[in-house]
Chain A
Amino acid sequence: MKKTIICFVLMVFWVGCQSKKSIVLPFEGKKLFIDGALSDDGTAEINISRTYPPTGSFKEDTSYFKSITGELYENNIRIAQIKQKSRNTFVLDKKINVNFSSAYFIKVRADDFPEVISDQVYFPKKLDLVSFDFTGTTRSNLAPQTEVRIIKVSFKDQDPKINYYEIKIKTFDKENKKLNPQVENLDENPSAENGCSFISGHFILTSDLCMLGNVKKVKIGYSTEENVRDSYEPLRAKKMELSFKNISYNQYLFITGESGNSGLEQAFSTKPPRFSNVKNGYGAFFANTVIEKEVKF
């Protein structure tokens, strides 16, 4: 609906308009972009990319991956190095013992790129989980014709400030092939834009802003079937992996900043500068407390 209306209004202007000419936007020079997090289990995953000019024609550049090096610091002491896991994904060369009172940051560099240094980050409080309930199904709010499985999560909120959580769902078929589950917050109207939930594909960001009581509850639905092109039989999930993270508000801003309008819609919206907590580059590095669960059907 939103897009349709936008297209309509654009059409209004296309009529009678002059031919278009492109504008070359300034570029400040290439920089590294990092998207990484340290988990309280002592592991870290850091995805690294580079910036390109906002306008122009380009080919993917992978030449800098090999020259990437970096380190993780705890209270200004280097405690680990990063190593390439796959393509542009890097992990720590060893598992570390995390300390909830320590400050962590990373440095990353590559040939011909300025060195990126993240701000110091701290682990948020550990989740005081009460229960998980993986039983039950219901009609989807997003697509009423389909059925979704229910996950109920209860946890204690002992922190008086507003807290943010990421609930990520991964599903796999019988051949352990990754599917694309549709995730939804069953507690709220799917079209609500009240700031309680941010839904993007297979994860939900939510906050305790909209959860009453000392014991917070959130009810999630996720699809277990995926239609396949040229086939009457959908792919069915046989396994579900859930990760439940206590994230910072900055991480919430960082993740939500990635989505939003694209293409034509950008002409209509003011975009926020994306949250970044790194110097000499873009992106962010965070520390998360994580609870992971696996359910087989």
Chain B
Amino acid sequence: LKKLLFILLFFVFFNSKAQHRLSGYVVDSTTQETLIGCSIRNLSTKNGVVSNTYGYFTIERASLNDEIEFSFVGYKTQKRTIKENTINIKLAAFSHQLDEVQVKSNDEASFLGNEVGKISLSMARIKKIPALFGEVDALKALAFLPGVVQAQEGTTGLVVRGGSPDQNLILLDESPVYNPSHLYGLLSTFNPDIIKNLDFYKSGFPARFGGRISSILDIQTRNGSLTKKRKEYTLGILSSRFLAEGPIGKNTSYLVAGRTSFLDLFTWPLYLRYRNVFGNYINYRMIDLNVKLATNLRNNGKLYFSVFASNDDYRVFERNDSTSKANSTLKLKWFNTTVSTRYIKEIGQKTFSKTTLYLSDYRNITDTYLTFGKEYTDTIRSNTRTSIVDVGLKTQIEHYLNEKYDFKVGLEAIFHKYQPTLTKASFEFNPDKNKIYYGKELSGFIENTIKPTKKFTANLGIRATIYAIDNELYNGIEPRISLAFTPTKSLNLFASLERQNQFAHQLINNSFGLPTGFWVPISKKAPQQYADQLSVGVATKINSQFELMIEAYTKTLKNQIDLSIGKNLLTSYEETWEQMYESNGIGRAKGIEIFLNKKKGALTGTASYTLSRSERKFERINNGNWFDFYFDRRQMFSLSASYVASKKYSFSGSWSYLTGSPISVPLASIIPPNPSGYLIYIHGDRNNFRLPNYHRLDFSVSKTKITKKGNENMLSFGLYNVYNQVNALYVIPKSRWVTRPEEGVLTNWTTGLYKQGFLPILPFVSFTKKIL
């Protein structure tokens, strides 16, 4: 590795030439929003760069007369000769009124980015995928990528290359988000109206990212418009949204966006019955709010302040008898809050700096309350809370030495507060459950991007972390290498080898995908988990419309934990979480992924196929043998297509197919030799059976109308699960039997394992009004 680095740096420094550098930001001409991933090419030298996540770029010029081309999907390309050294380039978006041909030819970007392993999705792309109840969702859109799958139907928990949902690093404006789910995961907590761009990595992890071992999802929100006030309203079944944005003075913009659901209106009849007679009443409320302020400072720096808060509140009330006071209540609540302040600044023309201070707070509360009958006044109450709070400070310097070499270097310090369980109950429980843990994490990284020739790019990085908790010190070194070779314009070969550390674990109840995962700190028994991954691939442009990517990977995971046999986090009041898990597990995953992308034309879409395997091994589970991981999906196939029929009408459809998930089932049943009137089961190995395969077709049609005032109205209609497939979310065993009274021995019985589907065929409609 040292030799390779030396050779690459030799090329870099001895091939560099004198330069007239041009730097600045690329922004939307109307809103002044910075544009991420804009291509900037020097037509004289044929060199090119792309703007970073803050729209910043810096490019070499042989002379001040060099012609520079700025191009970005959905925007008119500019070619300019610029005499200045620093400039803000304003690109004009194609307007709504442009002709049909232009729409068809400019509507899709390439998925095959310049950075190895990175896939960038714009909201324009995400909005074309039919979504449940018409609710556009960024995380669900990712599930159409190969190697990525939703943990459960309808949910936003992502499983990437054989990992588990907690192993994905999700950043919202640089701040980690621990729970990305609303409505049991039917929606992600990310309001689609505020997302500007989404970068997703399942390999080739840059050293600037750390803390998770499966994937990185870096979500950037957009700024409010600096030029014009604007409002947007959306009325939907699952959620209704509003957005307001505009300038505050010349240099500051605001953006406020919120969502809430009105599902409790649908359960109103149940409430009346519950109140006046008896029965069950279910109430669900969710709300989220995003606020962002962006300021251009006089020193040419920029300051961003982002707040994100979400709250879900699910309640189940039950009363069996109208005359009785007996009732029971279950409340499930979960909260996410992130606050981040970012300061970015160009230092000279070659250096870009950013500093972020953030807070992330996640809490999940389960509250049960029971009051017994007319005669009894007993009340049983329990309240269990799990929470994690992070306060972090990170700073990063990006230095662009020349076209052949740039590097990023940075530091991040995080203070973690874990409270895996905080239990309050009207009955006796183990007080040790309520322990609080404080962790201190310090990471540093350097990431080098080296381009010795125009056809070869190497990203060599290393990340080092020290973590202190409970008077113990842990450390981890993470080397990251990714290489890309582009022999022709339409062919890209790439490979990456990397290690990732994760200084936290999550214990999850194995069933359902309820947000009942308990974040727990590392410990002597379960030190940081880490994964080593080797990934190789090829991407090729088949023609102007189609591109194909094939990737293969192999991954090993260490220090995995899992719930011990028979343990249940939801219902144990005697044991602490530390007494309920198996440690020192190892994992292995491998797979081949094929991805076809049709990016141009009236019909656009993707097709992806994955053949993969993910296994785990624990000393005390399955006699120490390998077993299929819960999230192992042997085959995954998905199709997504969007057809723009006219300026008014567009159609979208998607179909996905997954191998069923592994579950543990009995091998046989027996009547106990000592008559007891019930069956007992002979249980087999863990995950010894697979649920039936999963498949689902969705379809939607949208009508867009531009009003005389220039506002946009969009009406969407669609069908979720078109052919009403009953896909199993989980299974329930059920039995009926007859016993011989005198001995209590079973004489006749029926046992069944019943799959419980989640969502049948569901029509949906949504209406969006954009006041421009």
B668 adjacent to A282 (CB under 8 Å)? yes
Q: A18-B758, A22-B754 are in contact. Are A60 and B732 (CB under 8 A)?
A: no
Question: Which among B664, B732, B746, B750 has the highest number of chain A CB atoms within 10 Å?
Answer: B732
The contact of B730 among A4, A50, A267, A272, by CB within 8 Å, is A267
A55 adjacent to B759 (CB under 8 Å)? no
**Interface residue? A85 (CB, 8 A):** no
**Interface residue? B741 (CB, 8 A):** no
Min CB distance A180 to B, Å, is 12
- Cα distance A261–B574 in the bound complex, in angstroms: 17
**Interface residue? A193 (CB, 8 A):** yes
Interface-lining segment among A9-17, A98-106, A122-130, A169-177: A9-17
B contacts with A, residue count (CB < 8 A): 78
A263 adjacent to B332 (CB under 8 Å)? no
A12 adjacent to B332 (CB under 8 Å)? yes
The chain A residue sitting closest to B724, CB to CB, is: A18
Q: Which of B751-771 contact A (CB under 8 A)?
A: 751-760
| A contact residues around B514 at 8 Å (CB) | 9, 12
B754 adjacent to A20 (CB under 8 Å)? yes
**Interface residue? B31 (CB, 8 A):** no
- Cα distance A12–B282 in the bound complex, in angstroms: 9
Min CB distance B708 to A, Å, is 42
**Interface residue? A215 (CB, 8 A):** no
The contact of A273 among B570, B684, B731, by CB within 8 Å, is B684
A49 adjacent to B673 (CB under 8 Å)? yes
Q: A28-B667, A31-B668 are in contact. Are A267 and B732 (CB under 8 A)?
A: yes
**Interface residue? A264 (CB, 8 A):** yes
B731 adjacent to A267 (CB under 8 Å)? yes
| B contact residues around A50 at 8 Å (CB) | 670
| A contact residues around B395 at 8 Å (CB) | none
B760 adjacent to A58 (CB under 8 Å)? no
| B contact residues around A48 at 8 Å (CB) | 673
A23 adjacent to B668 (CB under 8 Å)? no
**Interface residue? B748 (CB, 8 A):** yes
The contact of B316 among A11, A22, A52, by CB within 8 Å, is A11
Interface-lining segment among B94-102, B414-422, B675-683: B675-683
B759 adjacent to A270 (CB under 8 Å)? no
**Interface residue? A227 (CB, 8 A):** no
The chain A residue sitting closest to B760, CB to CB, is: A18
**Interface residue? B272 (CB, 8 A):** no
B368 adjacent to A25 (CB under 8 Å)? no
Min CB distance A251 to B, Å, is 15
| B contact residues around A26 at 8 Å (CB) | 689
The contact of A60 among B574, B747, B756, by CB within 8 Å, is B747
- Cα distance A4–B382 in the bound complex, in angstroms: 12
Min CB distance A106 to B, Å, is 14
Q: A17-B729, A267-B730 are in contact. Are A6 and B570 (CB under 8 A)?
A: yes
Q: Other CB < 8 Å A-B pairs besides A18-B760, A33-B673, A273-B622, 8 of them?
A: A2-B571, A5-B330, A11-B318, A21-B726, A27-B668, A50-B670, A54-B682, A270-B686
Can you list 29 A-B contacts with CB-CB less than 8 angstroms, sorted by A residue number? A1-B382, A5-B570, A6-B571, A12-B332, A13-B729, A17-B756, A18-B758, A19-B760, A22-B753, A23-B753, A28-B667, A48-B673, A54-B667, A55-B753, A56-B750, A57-B748, A58-B748, A58-B750, A60-B745, A60-B747, A192-B574, A264-B732, A269-B566, A270-B563, A271-B565, A271-B566, A274-B683, A282-B668, A282-B670
